[in-house]
Amino acid sequence: MEERKSLEEKLSFAQGAFILTIANLISRLLGFIFRIVLSNKIGPEGMGIFQLVMPVYMTALSVTTGSISVTVSRLVAQSLSRGDRRYTYRIVSLSLMLITSISAIISGILIFFSDYISSSILNEERTMLPIIIFSPVLFIISSSAVIRGYFEGIQNIKPSAIANIIEEVVRIISVLFLIDAVMPMGIEYAVSAAIFSSVLGEVCVFLFMAYKYKERQHKYKASTSGPHINNHKLMLNIVGTTIPLSLNRFVNTFLQSIEAVIIPQRLMANLSKEESLSIFGELTGMALPIVMLPSIVVNALSVTLVPAVAEAHEKNDMATLEHRVKESVEYTLIISFITSTTLLSLPNEIAITLYHNTEVGIFLRMFSLVVPLIYTSQIMNSALNGMGKHTIAFINNLFASFMRTLCTYILVANSKFMINGYFIGYYLGFLLLFILDYICIRRFIGIFPGVVFFAKTFIASIVFYLCLKIFYCLNPIPNSLISLVITLLLSLIIYLLIMVHTGVLRTGNLIGNLPFLRRV
């Protein structure tokens, strides 16, 4: 009875996604402010150094954390569907033991080889100090991922949502205090301050998540009686589930890291080191964060989709499974069309307003048409992982990542292509990933958005594009943040009204998905 009460407390799929989306929106906006402040203070070259450190950071996390949160989420969801709370707590404790051991090893390796990594691999000695700063806290970040996975598995998104905001608030406050103090010492120390602020944010997230987990353990105590839990068998299950997912993430992250490292190095075949780092900083530190900003909705859908699909798959409830995937893909396509249209319509206006840099605007326009492929591939990958098709998702990502990296290596050093070679690889890689994921999804799920959906969404996007152009030209305050926000809001309202009028979005479903409107 107690377990049933617990299950009733979990949020619905759409409500969970909505809450996580709002929290991610707040945290992503705070993080975006952080990047704007940082880029304006340290310039494109400094952002280039910062972006060189991040691949090492992300690769280390892909080894220590892997996809442990997805594994825990999936196993916890399956355990709760069987009504076994004691098993869920054991999943968390064994997962924490596993990732803490791995993190200690990786941290030691990074610190010991930090000089070699910075000088020989990254070809930038100023990245050594930032690497030393983030290495000791890998186990904290990994532990937070395990606890996040638990709450996502029980479909209680609130702790993760709050944690996201805490992380960015701490990050912003600390960097504002540190950046001006260390900037006179050089760009290396400014980048180190930015990394240190991220470390503080992660520590605060861990403390909060650990508190919430202990609080829940105290509130919902597991029964001391029940069948014996074979720790060895459970650990093998955790490792067996995590390895395919982690290989997927590691290979993808590793290839992205290689891609990130070789971009400035291949550009140096035709440009100076400073110019190469500046272009790299503008591309990955300024343009890409704008492109990926709306993906907070897709990320929220992905997080809530995995346990929802896993639970439906465990119960062999194909109707619910197909509905969840179709619903997520449709929402993702709507978000991606909005993003593409905005980047295609006002790229220079956005770049000048935020960064006072017209080169970023060129990159935004070049990214615009690939957005639907990026976002939709992400949601389809989550669906495959939720159904336990980890190997398929891994292979698809492997082929796509290899395509991007190979094109980047070959074309960027060519004087005829240079940075355009990166975009060729980017488009080809995500097109390949989309095609592979789509073919695989259709093998397991028959329902998918039809021609009518795409036609209505495309027409609404054309109107949205025209509204953006017209409203921005009519706005009395040119090249200002207020003007940009007003233009986006007015155009978005018209876009959503068209989507509701044509039946693509249903107001009843939308209101039902918003917890605060349900109470009205």
The number of beta carbons lying within 10 Å of the beta carbon of residue 269 is 12
Tens digit of pLDDT at every position of the chain (520 positions): 444 444 444 455 556 566 666 777 787 788 888 788 788 777 888 888 888 898 898 888 888 887 788 788 888 887 777 766 777 888 888 888 888 888 999 999 999 999 999 988 888 888 999 999 989 889 898 899 898 888 888 877 788 888 888 888 888 888 888 888 888 888 888 888 889 988 999 999 999 999 988 888 777 665 555 565 667 777 887 787 777 767 767 777 787 788 888 999 899 889 888 899 889 999 988 899 899 888 877 877 776 777 777 777 777 777 778 878 888 888 889 999 999 999 999 999 999 988 888 899 999 999 999 999 999 998 888 888 778 787 888 888 888 988 998 999 999 999 899 999 999 999 999 999 999 998 988 887 766 677 888 899 999 999 999 999 999 988 777 667 888 989 999 999 999 999 988 888 766 555 444 433 333 3
Q: Is 44 left (phi over 0), alpha (psi -120 to 50) or beta?
A: alpha
Same structural domain for residues 467 and 485? Answer: yes
The pTM score is: 0.76
Is residue 355 within 8 Å of 286, Cβ to Cβ? Answer: yes
Domain span including residue 382: 272-519
The answer to whether position 25 is within a domain reads no
C-alpha atoms less than 13 angstroms from C-alpha of 203 in its C-beta half-sphere:
13
Is residue 238 within 8 Å of 91, Cβ to Cβ? Answer: yes
The answer to whether position 421 is within a domain reads yes
The pLDDT score that the predictor gives to residue 430 is: 94
CA angle 438–320–451, rounded 5-degree value: 40
In the 8-state DSSP scheme, what is residue 502? Answer: T
Same structural domain for residues 456 and 502? Answer: yes
Cβ neighbours for 60, distance < 8 A, ≥ 6 positions apart = 106, 110, 134, 135, 138
Same structural domain for residues 303 and 422? Answer: yes
Q: How many Å apart are CA 333 and CA 317, to the nearest integer?
A: 25
Of the candidates 421, 51, 445, the residue with the CA atom closest to the CA atom of residue 261: 51
The answer to whether position 5 is within a domain reads no
Is residue 30 within 8 Å of 172, Cβ to Cβ? Answer: yes
Is residue 246 within 8 Å of 13, Cβ to Cβ? Answer: no
Pull the structure tokens for residue 459. Answer: 């027409």
Same structural domain for residues 238 and 304? Answer: no
Same structural domain for residues 216 and 359? Answer: no
Write down which residue in 262, 289, 308 finishes a domain: 262
Cβ neighbours for 49, distance < 8 A, ≥ 6 positions apart = 124, 126, 127, 187, 188, 191, 277, 281
Same structural domain for residues 294 and 200? Answer: no
Per-residue buried b or exposed e for 86-97, using 16+ beta carbons within 10 Å of the residue's own CB = bbbbbbbebbbe
Q: How many Å apart are CA 197 and CA 201, to the nearest integer?
A: 6
Q: Which amino acid is at 385?
A: N
Same structural domain for residues 248 and 276? Answer: no
Cβ neighbours for 383, distance < 8 A, ≥ 6 positions apart = 305, 309, 325, 328, 441, 445
The answer to whether position 100 is within a domain reads yes
The pLDDT score that the predictor gives to residue 42 is: 79
Q: Is 186 left (phi over 0), alpha (psi -120 to 50) or beta?
A: left
The answer to whether position 3 is within a domain reads no
Same structural domain for residues 165 and 282? Answer: no
Tell the burial category of 316 from Cβ atoms under 10 Å away from its Cβ (0-12, 13-18, 19+).
exposed
Q: How many Å apart are CA 199 and CA 197, to the nearest integer?
A: 5
Question: Based on the structure, what is the number of domains in the chain?
Answer: 2
Same structural domain for residues 361 and 491? Answer: yes
C-alpha atoms less than 13 angstroms from C-alpha of 414 in its C-beta half-sphere:
11
Same structural domain for residues 362 and 278? Answer: yes
The answer to whether position 23 is within a domain reads no
The pLDDT score that the predictor gives to residue 228 is: 58
Q: How many Å apart are CA 22 and CA 496, to the nearest integer?
A: 18
The answer to whether position 129 is within a domain reads yes
Cβ neighbours for 190, distance < 8 A, ≥ 6 positions apart = 38, 41, 42, 46, 179, 182, 183
Of the candidates 375, 331, 282, 266, the residue with the CA atom closest to the CA atom of residue 513: 331
Same structural domain for residues 180 and 139? Answer: yes
Write down which residue in 240, 262, 284 finishes a domain: 262
Write down which residue in 231, 262, 293 finishes a domain: 262
Same structural domain for residues 201 and 224? Answer: yes
